[in-house]
Amino acid sequence: KKRKSYLPPSLEILNKETDKNSRFSDLRDLALFILEANGFPSPTIAKVNNRHLIGRVVFLIIPGLELADFGIPEDTEKITSCELTTIPEQLTFFKQHFDKFLMVNSPGDRNSLYPLIKAFTSVPYTKKQKNKKVKELESKTLVLPDLLMTHQDFLENDYPVHPLVLNVPQDQIKPITEGWVDTTPFEHEGSHTFSLDCEMCQTATGKVLTRISLINFDEETLLDEFVKPEDEIVDYLTQYSGITEELLKNVTTSLKDIQDKICKIISADDILIGHSIENDLNVLKIRHPRIIDTSLIFEHPRGPPFKSSLKYLAKQYLDKTIQNGSHDSVEDAKTCLDLVKLKLVNNALLGKVIDGESLFKILGDSGRKAVVLDNLKIQNDHKKYLACSNDDEVVDSILEKAADTDLIVAKFKDLESSLGWDKIPSTQELEENQSTYTDKTQAFEDLNNRLEKIYKGIPGNTAIILTSG
């Protein structure tokens, strides 16, 4: 007889003696408990046997699976038995691997339902935790170094990584390539804090620098120059950049000229401020290690990966209207600096959204890694959120990520599409990639094949949690 600790891991759904359905958040808490996230107690919905043997969790959201598909009347409000007795014949994967189910309430309030992925990745504070966090932040005064981006911020927000970024893994630092420069440490008088903003135009090969503005902490303009790109401009993007063909007509300043000037002004020990300036630094082809990004220190109300625009932050916190028409890079640089100064004279609570913690942070604190696979392209793309244009891409991404990711949250789309539930595609590209079905039969067969492919392709001892959404 095997000792219990030598038996394979397993999940057992618990029959709860209550009139209330389980909550969607119970599924998230189950996943966090399996992964031994800090502070998460035993789940109330399932018993986890030998969780130390479970290597990862794959959480699949499959909108379009309905109660009626499993022989349960649609008007059922409470399930007393969790035995899964009726299964569509095409879904052999369910017959082989599931014998019980759990009915959970969708996340939301009286007026609306919350997006499932947002609900899954946001772990709300208790009232006690929230009050404690607010008091901690209110009592904390800030200095500039407190606002600096971490090495994780660099990696997650597509910033070029300077070799002097603190604590960054060496394998994440790429050798300097032709045309790029690194800021270097040197002693100099005057300001050691600067704010930067750039304007760009479009060429056949991508966006290029056409104006740069740099100010110091006293809001003195040190640089405000137009730049002539090497490649031909195909779109001046005037309504956003304020740049016209006439403005650049007699300009001879090159990108290299600007790089030389910046590297003579800014030491690698100095602080550079800006709003989502990963794009600016990439067109400047400059790497710098000490950066304050106002899009990160003033959090979006909906949490990451969303980021507030500089225009919104200026109005919300400075009662200032900017970008009325085209952008002005000097004005934008000053606005970023004003936002940072506002943080310094207030406290750490300003700009914080105290609703809870990100699932990514909770897992990160436990040395774990998570990724979300969805068909929606997130603005200001985030390393933890990967856009997939169809369900086959979702499957391929799961198999690619499974080896080095502890939690994969993935949403399928095709079954939902077969029911016409998604009438507003997010982009034309996604619309072209979506499958079309005349009924559920073929959709079920394709779903079953994808689930089988995932099951066979991921490492053993993976917990698979599946919800209909």
DSSP string for 306-374: ----HHHHHHHHH-----SSS--HHHHHHHHHHHHHHHHHS-TTTT---SEEEHHHHHHHTT--EEEEE
Instruction: Compute the distance between CA of residue 334 and CA of residue 196 in angstroms, rounded to an integer.
Output: 9
Q: How high is the pLDDT of residue 3?
A: 59
pLDDT in tens, 399-433: 999 999 999 999 999 888 777 766 544 444 444 45
Instruction: Average the pLDDT over 366-391 and give the result.
Output: 77
Which tops the pLDDT comparison, 18 or 344?
Answer: 344
Instruction: Compute the distance between CA of residue 121 and CA of residue 117 in angstroms, rounded to an integer.
Output: 6
Q: How high is the pLDDT of residue 195?
A: 98
pLDDT band at 78 (very low <50, low <70, confident <90, very high): low
Q: How high is the pLDDT of residue 380?
A: 41
Tell me which residue has tokens 């099951």. Answer: 455
Question: Where is average pLDDT lowest: 73-82, 212-221, 244-253?
Answer: 73-82
Judged against a pLDDT cut of 50, whether residue 381 lies above it is answered with no
Q: How high is the pLDDT of residue 320?
A: 92
Instruction: Compute the distance between CA of residue 184 and CA of residue 204 in angstroms, rounded to an integer.
Output: 32
Mean pLDDT in the chain? 87
pLDDT in tens, 31-70: 999 998 777 778 888 889 898 899 999 999 999 888 888 8
Judged against a pLDDT cut of 90, whether residue 465 lies above it is answered with yes
Give the CATH number of domain 144-295+308-338; options: 1.20.810.10, 3.30.420.10, 2.40.50.100, 3.40.50.80: 3.30.420.10
Which tops the pLDDT comparison, 132 or 432?
Answer: 132
Query: Most confidently modeled of 91-105, 304-318, 337-351, 359-373?
Result: 337-351
Q: Where in the chain is the domain with CATH 3.30.420.10?
A: 144-295+308-338
Backbone angles phi, psi at 197, to 5 degrees: -150, 145
Q: How high is the pLDDT of residue 426?
A: 42
How many other CB atoms are there within 10 angstroms of residue 459's CB atom? 9
How many other CB atoms are there within 10 angstroms of residue 249's CB atom? 9
